[in-house]
Amino acid sequence: MFSIGQLSQASGVKVPTIRYYEEIGLLACDGRSAGNQRRYTAAGRDRLRFIAHGRALGLSLDAIRALLDLSDRERAPCRQAHAIAESHLADIRDRIARLQRLEQELERITNACDHDGAPCRLLEALADHGQCASAH
């Protein structure tokens, strides 16, 4: 059995975050010590690592909850897990495309500025979204 501090060290997840995951029902403590300290089994540690890895991949807590529910089933349908991952991947690709548009626009307005002009063209462009070359 692990104390909450040992679980934190074993998973890299901070103690307040572990408590939060308990509060929202993603993780359950497996009992309490005689001194009323939370105790966790290796299965709890593994579940917390699953949650932490999902968060590191940018998955929402709702997506992680759904994946945990699937992983708790004996014969979980892989299609459902795959659909969750595909949806998240599509979101990531959308964000990347948006960031690339932001990069291009910021590069364009930065390059349009001669650095010594008055008024500053960069500041003008930032103040007026209508000066942008494309939607971003």
Domains belonging to the chain, first-starting first, are 1-59 (1.10.1660.10)
R_g (Cα) of the chain, nearest Å = 23
* Cα-Cα-Cα-Cα dihedral sign, residues 53, 55, 57, 61: positive
Using 50, 70 and 90 to split pLDDT, how confident is the model at 67?
very high
Amino acid letter for position 70: L
| Cα(19)–Cα(80) distance, integer angstroms | 28
Q: What's the confidence (pLDDT) of residue 92?
A: 97
Q: What predicted TM-score, i.e. pTM, was given to this entire model?
A: 0.79
Q: What's the confidence (pLDDT) of residue 117?
A: 64
- What are the residues whose beta carbons fall under 8 Å from the beta carbon of 66, sequence distance 6 or more? 80, 84
pLDDT-wise least confident of 18-32, 36-50, 61-75, 110-124: 110-124
pLDDT-wise least confident of 2-6, 62-66, 68-72, 132-136: 132-136
CA dihedral of residues 119, 121, 125, 128 (deg, nearest 10):
30
